[in-house]
């Protein structure tokens, strides 16, 4: 999706004068327009809401933009809950879906009025104890369909091999227990895909969840008020891939809704998503500078960023389009490995990639990095993570996260005690 980059070479050079590379750049206007397309597609349901997956881009400026477009939040940790709060997201529009969760985090979510989504049947008693002998008025459970759901990709894994969620028998039992405990409102959640581009996959998932909601009602008397279909809608990282059609997915799910939900008396049923990647992914870029070249068994271009800023290619072998600013239309005459400075051979943004000839000082753009990019950064090798820049709708630029410093890296060390420490 290289054509989406919003700046010309001259404009980018001017930006780099103020904000040296590497940095992430996000396009506010494009994110807003995309969120509106997403909302419009799924507004064919009587109750719909997107809960942005905070883990995808945990920056309060981005979250505040999405909140202004009607988004809730999908959170899985205390800091994510706190970020959602400070971004102005309504408490009851936050779903806390975590696993192996400390009691203190459940307590915080409950106090805030967030929706708690439990990952295991044993967590009912754990939560009850954490809350002083009571359960929330609203509760949700995550369903793991096991071998009922096939075609899942390797990122999230096969359901029967995944650590997440309750079995079918367990989830029926869990709703029965919670009803007896006085819980009044119920939701149902599943998450079985990541970066999936086949619309039929999501229609099939919705069918499975709708039918389970009906079974729960029949066996326990519990009326499911909303279903969270998880996330997993993918984006076309590779040039030959086709972007997923939101309308096609929505219409396919609506057909199953009318077939299963309406006759069962569950209408109006809330339809929630917790997508991150398709909302911001295509509208964030890692901008870096070529600083070294190496000619051995392969041709290498080294940039001033590394896997510490974007780990997906090294961790998953994930593909990200790479372009050279000002050379977008130049012939791709060279074959490079584009690498960073980490002491790991997997620290590569591109492997044997056909690109134009890259000169030292060229600005290199790594595309589709607006989700699971800066968020997955780390400090191995003492690397300092880059900052984040937001391009506002009016064309101005706002630094929404400064780059890390040595002081940041050492902040948790007792450096004052080192001198007197006897080894």
Q: pLDDT in tens for each of the 423 residues of the chain? A: 446 899 999 999 999 999 999 999 999 999 999 999 999 999 999 999 999 999 999 999 999 999 999 999 999 999 999 999 999 999 999 999 999 999 999 999 999 999 999 999 999 999 999 999 999 999 999 999 987 755 545 544 567 667 789 999 999 999 999 999 999 999 999 998 889 999 999 999 999 999 999 999 999 999 999 999 999 999 999 999 999 999 999 999 999 999 999 999 999 999 999 999 999 999 999 999 999 999 999 999 999 999 999 999 999 899 999 999 999 999 999 999 999 999 999 999 999 999 999 999 999 999 999 999 999 999 999 999 999 999 999 999 999 999 999 999 999 999 999 989 999
In a domain, residue 330? The reply is: yes
Domain enclosing residue 372, as ranges: 2-8+282-410
Residues 308 and 403 reside in one and the same domain: yes
Residues 235 and 192 reside in one and the same domain: yes
The CATH number given to whatever domain includes residue 95 is: 3.20.20.10
Q: Is 57 noted as a catalytic residue in this protein?
A: no
Give the number of domains in the chain: 2
Among 260, 280, 300, identify where a domain stops: 280
Residues 197 and 173 reside in one and the same domain: yes
Among 280, 302, 330, identify where a domain stops: 280
In a domain, residue 185? The reply is: yes
Residues 312 and 175 reside in one and the same domain: no
The CATH number given to whatever domain includes residue 377 is: 2.40.37.10
In a domain, residue 318? The reply is: yes
Residues 250 and 303 reside in one and the same domain: no
In a domain, residue 391? The reply is: yes
Among 244, 260, 280, identify where a domain stops: 280
Please state whether 408 falls in left (phi above 0), alpha (psi between -120 and 50) or beta. alpha
Residues 273 and 297 reside in one and the same domain: no
CA–CA dist 359, 362 (Å, integer) = 6
Supply the DSSP symbol for 414.
-
Residues 170 and 308 reside in one and the same domain: no
Three-state DSSP state, 115: strand
CA–CA dist 53, 72 (Å, integer) = 9
Residues 141 and 114 reside in one and the same domain: yes
Separation of CA 145 from chain center: 22
Residues 90 and 181 reside in one and the same domain: yes
For residues 222 and 172, is the Cβ–Cβ distance under 8 A? no
Residues 258 and 397 reside in one and the same domain: no
Residues 295 and 274 reside in one and the same domain: no
In a domain, residue 329? The reply is: yes
Residues 214 and 292 reside in one and the same domain: no
Q: pTM here?
A: 0.94
Given 71, 178, 306, 343, the catalytic residue: 343
């Amino acid at each position: 999706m290289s054509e989406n980059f919003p700046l010309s070479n001259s404009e980018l050079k001017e930006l780099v004068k103020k904000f040296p590379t590497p940095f992430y750049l996000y396009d506010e206007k494009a994110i807003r327009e995309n969120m509106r397309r997403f909302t419009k597609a799924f507004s064919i349901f009587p109750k719909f809401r997107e809960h942005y997956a905070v883990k995808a881009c945990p920056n309060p400026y981005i979250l505040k933009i999405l909140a202004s477009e009607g988004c809730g939040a999908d959170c899985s940790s205390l800091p994510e809950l706190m970020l959602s709060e400070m971004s102005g997201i309504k408490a009851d529009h936050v779903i806390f879906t975590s696993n192996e969760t400390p009691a203190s985090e459940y307590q915080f979510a409950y106090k805030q009025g967030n929706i708690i989504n439990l990952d295991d049947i044993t967590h009912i008693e754990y939560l009850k104890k954490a809350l002083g002998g009571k359960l929330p008025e609203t509760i949700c459970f995550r369903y793991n369909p096991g071998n009922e759901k096939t075609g899942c990709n390797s990122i999230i894994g096969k359901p029967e091999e995944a650590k997440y969620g309750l079995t079918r028998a367990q989830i029926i039992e869990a709703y029965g227990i919670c009803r007896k405990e006085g819980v009044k409102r119920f939701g149902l959640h599943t998450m079985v895909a990541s970066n999936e581009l086949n619309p039929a996959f999501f229609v099939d998932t919705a069918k499975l969840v709708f039918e389970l909601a009906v079974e729960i009602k029949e066996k326990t008397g519990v009326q499911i008020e909303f279903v969270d279909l998880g996330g997993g809608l993918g984006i076309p990282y590779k040039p030959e891939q086709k972007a997923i059609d939101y309308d096609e997915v929505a219409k396919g799910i609506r057909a199953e809704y009318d077939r299963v939900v309406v006759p069962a008396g569950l209408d109006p049923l809330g339809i929630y998503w917790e997508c991150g990647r398709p909302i911001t992914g295509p509208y964030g870029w890692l901008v870096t500078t070529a600083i070294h070249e190496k000619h051995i068994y392969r041709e290498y271009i080294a940039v001033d960023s590394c896997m510490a800023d974007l780990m997906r290619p090294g961790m998953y072998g994930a593909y990200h389009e790479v372009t050279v600013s000002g050379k977008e239309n130049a012939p791709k005459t060279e074959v490079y490995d584009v690498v960073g400075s980490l002491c790991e051979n997997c620290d590569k943004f591109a492997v044997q990639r056909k690109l134009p000839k890259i000169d030292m000082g060229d600005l290199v753009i790594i595309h589709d990095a607006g989700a699971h990019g800066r968020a997955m950064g780390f400090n191995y090798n003492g690397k300092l993570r880059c900052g984040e820049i937001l391009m506002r709708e009016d064309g101005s630029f706002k630094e929404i996260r400064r780059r890390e410093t040595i002081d940041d890296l050492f902040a948790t060390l007792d450096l004052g005690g080192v001198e007197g420490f006897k080894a």
